[in-house]
Structure 1
Amino acid sequence: MTALLGGCGLSGDSADVTLKLVAADYGDSESNSSRIYWQKLVRAYEAEHPGVRIEVSVHSWNDVDRKVRELVDAGQAPDMAQIGAYSDYAAKDLLYRADDVLSIPVQADFVSQLAGAGQVRGVQYGMPFAASTRVLFYNKTHFEKAGITPPKSWDDLARAAEALKAEGVTYPYALPLGPEEAQAETMQWMLSGKGGYTDLNGTYALASPENVSTFTWLKEELVGKGLTGPVAPGKLNRADAFAAFADGQVGMLNGHPSLMKAAARKKVEFGMVPTPGIEGESRSTLGVSDWMTAFKQNGHQEEIGDFLDYVYSSENVLAFSREYDLLPVTGSASEIMSEAEEDKELRPFLDELLLSELYPVGKSSWAAVSAEVKKRIGRAVAPGGDPVEVLAGVQTTAARAESGH
């Protein structure tokens, strides 16, 4: 899916400039494709900036990262790319720093957790574009029938899952550790068990005692007791788990904002609470951000910066966030959303953003580690699986990727 959106330079006496942007599609149909969002934004920008033309090509999330890599490898880097990762391009010195292109007020407006995650060795290259967090969704109808209340701790969650299973719920707790997005569910559980992908020094610590304990608990207390449904967690993808929740087959799962509309469309009565942790509500939750990058190959530093300042205006950030049930990446837009009645359903996620931790995306090794987690982590909770062995194996991959071997 490609949209070429026309116009014409930054000021009347500058040469005509065409900026090329490759962007991801957040829509789930032609009627709400991101192409429509960009078309409207570009049309408004170009009306105010004769002499600058913006060409936007929009691709599905299945294709967009590969498309940008192909362009870069062919020596045809776009001026900007709105994609899932940035650190490998930063490591090759292909990107402008954020402060090379953004005005000081715009860069200072980013939510601090997101700005920090956009840094490589203390320098910001990744500009957050869209964010989300996770909370525990639960089916109110199933919970009322089972006579239970939303869980606050792992023990609560296990007891609730037992009660839901007794009531015949297909997936008492849906645990999607399949290859689509296993790295998300994995990190959510690691954080709730006081672990994570890295330690406080930023060094990979996948096989830490905390992470081993977390996956041992999952294997023994949920999966081993038949509380995660008919599909093995290692084969259950996030999209399928969400679809099952929207069909009323799931008692509980970790979800992000897009699940709200899907469940509401199917008339599922649901509630949302903070993620349960090992000793009560988890102290931190998973935050996810997608990234805007600015490539140096074509020059156009001034024009890119002017356009991105416009993209990150509160009005445009809010419009995008509201259209796709995502969280604003700027403090000014977040403040507006936290007070606006129309955004009240997003407030639980907005509150969690301030407690969130993001993937270690500043490491150029993260792509390899994420791929290994997707491939292997389901085995840690499978019958006969060994959490120690699986996590140690992923840790070995992480150490190799960090050293460049």
Structure 2
Amino acid sequence: MRRRYSGLLAAAVATAMTLTLSGCGGSGGEVTLRLVAADYGDSEANTSRRYWDQLAADYESSHPGVSIDISVYSWAEVDKKVADMVKRGEEPDIAQIGSYADYADRNKLYRADEVLSIPTQADFLPKLAEAGEFRRVQYGLPFAASTRLFFYNKALFAEAGIEEPPQSWAELQDAAEALKDAGVETPYALPLGPEEAQAETMLWSLSGGGGFVDSVGSYTLDSPENIRAFEWLRDELVGKGLTGPGDPAALNRQDAFDAFARGEVGMLNGHPTLMRQAEKEDVEFGTAPLPGRTGVAEATMGVNDWLMAFKKNGNRKQIGDFLDYVYSEPNTLEFADRYDMLPVTRSASEAMRADEKHEPMREFLDQLPEAVHYPSNKTTWAYVSKTIKQEIGPAVARDGDPSGVLSRIQRDAFATENAAR
């Protein structure tokens, strides 16, 4: 009965769409939706284009008159590609990129409630939907999420005589010293290089009781808690040779992950993709909540990417119908499963949790509802994130000045925010 009802409903939707499109302008009443998306794959074999091509083909087969034109770019170029399209007045209908606030501020986007059905919009995890709000209106549609956990190499821990993962900074330092004494070259990997330094920065800020913004959304980059966290890193980890022979300012996140997967790193913060990478190399690892200043950290970081619907081409109804299909439970779960991400909807999250093959993801799922996200609802966040990537690394050098560096970033963020008003 359920399959029969779903089939009847799909047929009814397809019929309604056909009737609607027959009254539209253009050649034969057909509509082409242009979608620009980021690539989550690491090779041609698992490029995101394969996911989107199959999704579009399935959708088009039951929606005559609608075609989906797909462009997939690497994360290094996709945001600029979309920005250039907008600058030329050639907005895509849908973009899946890292930030939406600037386009919402310029009145380029449909509101979520203008394109999504009520059941689809209500299915988003509340914190993720809230993170998609610009001036208390949702424009950003959460698409793929992840959280961070503390990873440790079980074999290296055993060799160093460490029985349990650390729960506090002091225990982390003790574990790092034990690993160093056991001959581990990089007891704790601290990736503050330009690839993703803003992530490691936020993790240490949160674990110290700080963060990037306060309760009203104002930047707090040079808060006492953040300064204290980076002074501790400078004095108790980097200064004591517990982060390896290289400079944390030059260590990128992927390089740290690669070293962990080779069995060369004792501890680091990681997201779900690190599990599969380590498993491929037969590294026995464990995960735990982030160590905090005096005990387990109260919060971890969540990362979320965004879909957004542009107004320019006026295809609101067709965009909305396609997005409802994108966010159906099986499609949301399929993307998350394929790319080691976390689903952004309640229904897909519950399906992932219920499936035994996804048991390793449950700890990440547990963290997601209360995870703290980047302030991506601020039009200045892209600039501030770039500044953090460029400047935070030297703060933890042996002669570094965390207070000076964080204060400089804060002043720059404040000036950029005022200029944007």
The bucket for the TM-score relative to the shorter chain is: over 0.9
How many Å separate the matches in 1 of 2:200 and 2:304?
A: 15
Give, in angstroms, the shift of residue 383 of structure 1: 2.1
CA–CA separation in structure 1 for the residues paired with 2:216 and 2:269: 27
Match of 2:70 among 32, 52, 56: 56
Task: Tell whether the 8 Å contact from 1:283 to 1:355 is kept in structure 2 after alignment.
Answer: no
Contact 1:176-1:185 within 8 A present in 2 as well: yes
Instruction: Give 1:295's aligned amino acid.
Output: F
Aligned mates of 1:383, 1:74 — CA distance in 2: 47
2:295 corresponds to 1:295: no
Select the structure of larger CA radius of gyration: 2
Query: Is 1:122–2:129 an aligned residue pair?
Result: no
Partner of 2:18: 11
> Counterparts of 1:169-184 in structure 2 under 5 Å?
169-184=184-199
* CA distance in structure 2 between the partners assigned to 1:323 and 1:305 by the alignment: 24
The reply to whether residue 32 of structure 1 matches residue 46 of structure 2 is: yes
Residue 173 of structure 2 corresponds to: 158
Query: Match for 2:202 among 184, 187, 195?
Result: 187
Alignment partner of 1:70 out of 84, 108, 116: 84
CA distance in 2, matches of 1:113, 1:268: 33
* Consecutive unaligned residues in structure 2, runs of 5 or more: 1-15, 24-28
Alignment partner of 1:136 out of 142, 145, 150: 150
Give the superposition deviation at 1:40. Answer: 1.0
Name the TM-score, length of structure 2 as normaliser: 0.93
Give the partner amino acid of 2:72: V
Q: Deviations over 1:176-227 (max 9, x none)?
A: 0111000000000100000000112211011111111111111101010000
- For residue 137 of structure 1, give the secondary structure of its aligned residue in structure 2: strand
| Aligned partner letter, 1:188 | L
Give the structure 1 partner of residue 329 of structure 2: 314
| Structure-to-structure mapping, 1:285-364, within 5 angstroms | 285-364=300-379
Match of 2:111 in 1: 97
The CA deviation string for residues 45-80 of structure 1, in whole angstroms up to 9 with x for no partner, is 001100001011111111111111111111111000
SS in 1 for 2:392: helix
Q: 2:299 and 2:395 mapped to 1: Cα distance?
A: 23
Moved over 3 A (4+): none
Q: Which structure 2 residues correspond to residues 370-385 of structure 1 after superposition, within 5 A? A: 370-385=385-400
Matched, 1:277 2:284: no
Match of 1:393 among 399, 402, 408: 408
Deviations 1:112-170 (A, max 9, x none): 11111111110011000000000001000000110102111111111000001111112
Secondary structure at the aligned position of 2:388 is classed as helix
Contact 1:198–1:204 (Cα < 8 Å) also in 2: yes
C-alpha contact 2:235 2:398 (8 A) present in aligned 1: no
Tell me, yes or no, if structure 1 residue 206 matches structure 2 residue 221: yes
1:260 Cα deviation after fit: 0.8
Task: Specify the SS of the correspondent of 1:364.
Answer: coil
Instruction: Tell me the SS of whatever aligns to 1:317.
Output: helix
Per-residue CA deviation, residues 322-348 of structure 1 (Å, 9 max, x unaligned), is: 001100000111111111101111111
Q: Give the match's secondary structure for 1:253.
A: strand
CA shift for structure 1 position 10: 3.0
CA distance in 2, matches of 1:330, 1:88: 24
In the alignment, residue 293 of structure 1 is paired with which amino acid?
M
CA distance in 1, matches of 2:203, 2:413: 19
TM-score normalized by the length of structure 1:
0.97
Q: How many residues align?
A: 397
* Structure 1 gaps, min length 5: 1-8
Between the two proteins, what is the percent identity of the paired residues?
A: 58
Q: Distance in 2 between matches of 1:123 and 1:208?
A: 28
- SS of the residue aligned with 2:18? coil
Q: Counterpart amino acid of 2:17?
A: L
